[in-house]
Structure 1
Amino acid sequence: MKLSQGLNLGQTLTMTPALQQAIRMLQLSTLDLKTEIQDALESNVMLEADEGHEEIDAREAAAQSSERTNSSDAEIPENLPVDADWNDIYAGSSAPAAPAASSTDDEDYWAFRQANLTSTPDLHAHLVWQADMHSFSPGERAAAEVIIDAIDANGLLLDWDEIAPRIAADLELTPAHVEAVLTVVQDFDPPGVAARSLAECLDIQLTGIDSDTPGHALARRLIREESLACLAEPKRDAVAARLGVELEALDTAIALIQTLQPHPGDAFAEHEADYVVPEVFVTRTSEGWHVALNPDIAPRLRINAQYLALIKRADKSADQTTLKSHLQEARFFLNSLKSRNDTLLEVAQCIVEAQRGFLEYGEEAMKPLVLRDVAEELEIHESTVSRATANKYMQTSRGVFELKYFFSSHVSTTDGGSASATAIQAMIKRMVAGETARKPLSDSKLAELLLDNGIQVARRTVAKYREALSIPPSHERRQKTG
């Protein structure tokens, strides 16, 4: 073997501490950000809340400081144009150390917080961890990640007809290969996750139950061959007669089905109450829609002028070293906060521009929008858009919505255009609300009415959208009207 030396040129993005902090802050919710800011104020003497005095900008503070090291010159790239998984850098946040209580109220509040804190990971993280443990090929792993991202909070996968072809096309996989990856994900915990319908969710859970369990075979038959509406029918003897089984056997099967979980994701729901504070305000002005950040989401911060004046050029004492270290950390923090706010505002402005129809006319005017559209418009990475929209809310004249609400897949229209899945759901909801009580609209009829409006969707797609809206099938709606 011959050894040789060579010189290769290449470009890499250095993940500086400042950039790491900026990306982490971008994905924080408003309440988490306030906690982060409070922790920074308590731990860094160079930071203070601006209470109306003359503000000292981070760059001005840097100019006044007498010494700057190479590390303190690290700048944060505009709009955070990186794609990185910070789970490997930042471990899951643990419960903070108990503070020294200054009063009985503080002690009671601390005890309450500890009693309600949970360490349960969210459903997405739980599924990603299982995918990491599986021996997927690179293409399969990418497909599994897309599938996991598409699973809703209930643990269901309701847009499979639109998602599957996109996965196959983007990752150059056959439809059968994509289905095989889905089957693997459906084997993950919790049982029933990634099901494409309620019936499939229950059927997957039955697969994991011993087939010798009383009522197992009939329960599977009910789920696969019968409408789940039979579970709610008051005259079960008629159902038993139609199926050709004993009433006792039917009751046993139904009791088994009722032990199953229709929403596998519920076990991973937050146990603490989530208080929504909108990060973005959208208002109508004479010039159009105006987008602004909520001024109350975080206090204004500045460099403490008195401590800044104490920094001396040549002094190498321990106190001077501490002050210089705090100054550098303060600069990083202020720049990260500014970068977060700038990125959030730009993403919100792009969303409002794309969804002006929704703001003016409602859900039926919602346009198809995916992360890639915003990323390309702002020339940033899709992961940056995802972080900027996670757990962030926008207050509009139509209510308060999570930023992710404005993103939805598209369905092709007969004129070659596209319609948002959210808009289609709104149309279905309107059609059902206006139907005749004695003759409710079936899924096939809803599909025909949508086609009359230029939107071509399959009956099974209409059924999935209807289920997502918690609208019962037509025969159940007819029964309820008496």
Structure 2
Amino acid sequence: MGSMLLRADTHQSQTLSPRLQRAVQMLQMSSLEFSALLRHKIDENPFLEEPDDSEEQEPSVVLHDAAADDRLMWTAEPGLGAQVSAGLEPSAMDLAASPVSLAMHLHSQLNVMPLNPRDLCAARAIVESLDDDGYLRTPLEDLLALLPASPALEMDELLVALRLVQSLEPAGTAARNVGECLALQCETIADPEVRALALALVQDHLRALASHDVAKLSRQLKKGRCDIERAMDAIKRFNPHPGWAYGAQQVDYIVPDVIVQRSGAHWHVQLNPAAMPRVRMNRVYESLFQRHRQRGHADLGEHLQDARWTLRNVEQRCATILDVAQALVRRQHRFLEFGAMAMKPLMLREIATELGIHESTVSRVTNNKYIATPQGVFELKHFFSRPLLSASGKTCSATAIREVIAELIAAENPLQPLSDADITRQLAAQGLVVARRTVTKYRQLLRLEPVEKRRRHS
């Protein structure tokens, strides 16, 4: 019969406190996410505030008796109490231009046309049925059933309204598929021969056109390759999403966390003031709480502790980002001078060892953080590149290899473009041993088309 035994074992394990876990999460946030978090904390924590640009210094308070002191502190704090505007001047948001949607743009064109009420009703219904791309995805039969006309509109009338809307600007509007969208834009081609050939390509040979099969198109249309190329070049200038030119679209702007500038023979690295969080301790509330804390306000005490912890994390985050950025600039200063070809191989552990921090910390700092350099704006992790061994035994970065591949393709003969195998052989001739599949991967990262789609015919 078995026996049941209880045994206590001791072992060591590393765990992160909830506060330290939040600090790690804050470190890996982007500047936008971190600013949003601080704004939320300012809203809910009375001990945190955002500095006022108009303030030159902290308001000073002369202390008298306790009651008078409290009154002075409350009145000395800017922003407290009701602030009544002296005038009704418009704000910057009131003066901002209102975005024009595609529907508004089309309706404005219909308003100046001499249309009878039935045609205008049908045309407006089609305009209101367009999606953000400018396409009419709703079947005409469904749209016809929804129109409140008396007597009821006929399909022929709706087709006339559709052709009317398709004749408006921008070209390609109200198309029901990609082929029709491109066909509508063929009318903008000035050369009648190129226009007719382009129309035939988008109407009957869209699949071969997408695959850039010039030889097949030349055989099927019985046209020279040069003519096919001219028509294809004209089609490339068309916009398959005509509706994108209108409406308020979300534009994501990158605000660099760090700015690098050259000063003589040295590179100067500084934090971007526009990306730095603006938060400080509300000294008035802190002093009031310290004076009356014996009365017991546990929740306010927690808010004060959280405010101090937040400020420490802001300072630590800024210092860590700056330290990592300075270390990267010291290692990759040749890249700042000569471009991607001079990028050196660099691993996370090298920066971590130099700064005395963990690799995971470097990874968090370089993710979603950006640096403005004379070469452009890059994510900090862009400066890390795994080493590749050359024929001479020296190492070079993968970033430099990609730059070489881009230059080889840019300088190639368009009549005889380089295949990935050709590029592999040319790299080997320069002492850079790279597998063909690696060349293919780097070419795809550069968003360069394969050899058949880059080939042009005389």
Distance 2:421 2:16 in 1: 55
Q: Does 1:53 align with 2:57?
A: yes
How many residue pairs were aligned? 284
Distance 1:440 1:390 in 2: 37
Residue 385 of structure 1, CA deviation: 2.0
SS of equivalent residue, structure 1 residue 284: strand
CA distance 1:44–1:372, shift in 2 (3 Å): same
Alignment match, 1:447: 424
Match of 1:359 among 336, 347, 353: 336
- The amino acid that maps onto 2:25 is R
Deviations 1:15-45 (A, max 9, x none): 142x223212112222222222222222111
Contact 2:335 2:341 in 1 (8 A): yes
Pick which of 322-331 and 369-378 moved more. Answer: 369-378
Contact 1:55 1:302 in 2 (8 A): no
State the structure with bigger RCO (CA 8 A, min sep 6), 1 or 2.
1
- The amino acid that maps onto 1:291 is V
Q: Does 1:349 align with 2:334?
A: no
Match of 2:267 among 283, 289, 292: 289
Distance 2:258 2:59 in 1: 24
Alignment of 1:80-479 (within 5 A): 231-236=211-216, 272-312=250-290, 315-317=293-295, 320-479=297-456
Alignment match, 2:42: 41
Contact 2:47 2:285 in 1 (8 A): yes
Distance 1:3 1:313 in 2: 57
Residue 468 of structure 1, CA deviation: 2.4
Distance 2:290 2:454 in 1: 78
Distance 2:14 2:214 in 1: 67
CA distance 1:52–1:322, shift in 2 (3 Å): farther
Distance 2:268 2:278 in 1: 22
SS of equivalent residue, structure 1 residue 296: helix
Contact 2:212 2:453 in 1 (8 A): no
- The amino acid that maps onto 1:469 is L
Pick which of 2-11 and 419-428 moved more. Answer: 2-11
Residue 273 of structure 1, CA deviation: 3.0
Distance 1:465 1:310 in 2: 62
Residue 316 of structure 1, CA deviation: 4.8
Distance 1:391 1:305 in 2: 33
* Greater radius of gyration (CA): 2
Deviations 1:287-316 (A, max 9, x none): 511211111213443222211221247845
- The amino acid that maps onto 1:274 is D
Identity of aligned residues (%): 40
Deviations 1:421-474 (A, max 9, x none): 111111111122222344333323322222232211122322222232232333
CA distance 1:2–1:389, shift in 2 (3 Å): same
CA distance 1:239–1:471, shift in 2 (3 Å): farther
Deviations 1:31-90 (A, max 9, x none): 22222222222211111233442599xxxxxxxxxxxxxxxxxxxxxxxxxxxxxxxxxx
Alignment match, 1:24: 25
Deviations 1:259-280 (A, max 9, x none): xxxxxxxxxxxx9432210001
SS of equivalent residue, structure 1 residue 291: strand
SS of equivalent residue, structure 1 residue 394: strand
Residue 350 of structure 1, CA deviation: 2.1
Contact 2:386 2:397 in 1 (8 A): yes
Unaligned runs of 5+ in 1: 57-103, 113-227, 241-270
Distance 1:8 1:477 in 2: 66
CA distance 1:47–1:5, shift in 2 (3 Å): same
Unaligned runs of 5+ in 2: 61-89, 99-207, 221-248
Deviations 1:167-208 (A, max 9, x none): xxxxxxxxxxxxxxxxxxxxxxxxxxxxxxxxxxxxxxxxxx
Distance 2:417 2:265 in 1: 44
Q: Alpha carbon RMSD of aligned pairs, Å?
A: 3.4
Distance 1:12 1:5 in 2: 22
CA distance 1:305–1:471, shift in 2 (3 Å): closer
Contact 1:22 1:339 in 2 (8 A): no
Distance 1:237 1:394 in 2: 47
Distance 1:44 1:21 in 2: 17
SS of equivalent residue, structure 2 residue 274: coil
- The amino acid that maps onto 1:23 is V
Distance 1:22 1:330 in 2: 13
Q: TM-score, normalised by structure 1?
A: 0.52
Q: TM-score, normalised by structure 2?
A: 0.55
Deviations 1:233-292 (A, max 9, x none): 14538999xxxxxxxxxxxxxxxxxxxxxxxxxxxxxx9432210001011122511211
